[in-house]
A = this chain, B = another copy of it.
Amino acid sequence: MVINMKRLEKELTKFYEKAEIPQHLAASIVYSLTAGGKRIRPLLFLKMLKAFGIPLETPHYRVAAAVEMIHTGSLIHDDLPAMDNDDYRRGQLTNHKKFDEATAILAGDALFLDPYYILAKSSFSAPIVVALVKELSYASGSLGMVAGQVLDMDGERKVLSPVQVKDIHHLKTGRMLAFPFVAAGIIAEQPKEVIAKLREIGQNLGLAFQIRDDIIDVTGTFEEIGKTPGKDQAEEKSTYVALLGLQGAQETLKQLLKTVKDDLAQVASSAEIIEIIESLEIK
């Protein structure tokens, strides 16, 4: 059983092929949905389902699309002039630069609202759909991603403690990375304890991604990271590198990835997910 990337890409943009959706809106949404994202959240979800022995069908690809849509909406809004004011993402013009600010705001809004329609229309049993809706909203809204973005913004140019920085990233990145693991557990009808462990794995992996980003912001080039390097440092952000030094951040990342691997071994065996975890290691 192989993950069908073409199918994932198809499900991601399929919703916006509907004739009823204004062309201008659909074009700007599809632009960002196909702007070279690595599909980490969808892939973790699908690989975790595989690890639980679930044959991958269309409804699974749709849940994978739903989480990627919300993630993409958040990137569009993050890049806005009033937020991070970025002109490029992954080496391409950001949505508001390619289109305009009003369109980018509305494209993001649509990407926050539409995934719930996709989930509600899916063929899972109603209790599973309700659980997925609850988890996706929890991961993305005021209890998750959006809260993390607010705290991140509030924390700019302030000196934060390592605990405060960890809390921010648990919300900003962790919750949305926990969703793929938790959602797979829900669909595979795993017991509560397994779902709790899956949540922890996702949260810690989210933190690992963030620490890795912080390290790469210092050590990477424009080509490698697709945006201007050193931006966090220039903005005096409380990154892990600023807090722990480059070596300290690298050590923390290493420890965290080990914890994630050990935890994963307790709930399921997946060489593919271990491969993703190991790809985050910095040599």
Q: Can you list 29 contacts pairing A with B, beta carbon distance less than 8 Å?
A: A15-B142, A18-B142, A21-B142, A22-B150, A24-B150, A25-B146, A25-B147, A25-B150, A74-B109, A83-B102, A103-B153, A106-B150, A108-B109, A109-B141, A110-B141, A112-B112, A112-B113, A113-B140, A113-B142, A114-B141, A115-B137, A116-B133, A117-B141, A120-B134, A126-B126, A126-B127, A126-B129, A130-B130, A130-B133
With most chain B CB atoms within 10 A of its CB, the pick from A119, A136, A142 is: A142
> A83-B105, A127-B126, A153-B102 known; A22 and B147 CB under 8 Å?
yes
Q: Does A100 contact B (CB under 8 A)?
A: yes
Which one of B25, B108, B133 lies within 8 Å of A120 (CB-CB)?
B133
Q: Does A20 contact B (CB under 8 A)?
A: yes
- What CA separation (Å) do A149 and B15 show in the bound complex? 18
Copies of this protein chain in the complex: 2
User: Are the C-beta atoms of A142 and B26 separated by less than 8 Å?
Assistant: yes
- What CA separation (Å) do A233 and B119 show in the bound complex? 41
- What CA separation (Å) do A75 and B266 show in the bound complex? 47
User: Are the C-beta atoms of A147 and B21 separated by less than 8 Å?
Assistant: yes
User: Are the C-beta atoms of B143 and A18 separated by less than 8 Å?
Assistant: yes
Chain B hits for A7, CB < 8 A: none
Known: A22-B151, A25-B146, A117-B134. 20 other contacts (CB 8 A): A15-B142, A16-B142, A25-B142, A25-B150, A26-B142, A70-B113, A77-B106, A83-B105, A105-B105, A106-B149, A110-B146, A113-B137, A116-B116, A116-B136, A117-B133, A117-B141, A117-B143, A120-B137, A125-B126, A126-B127
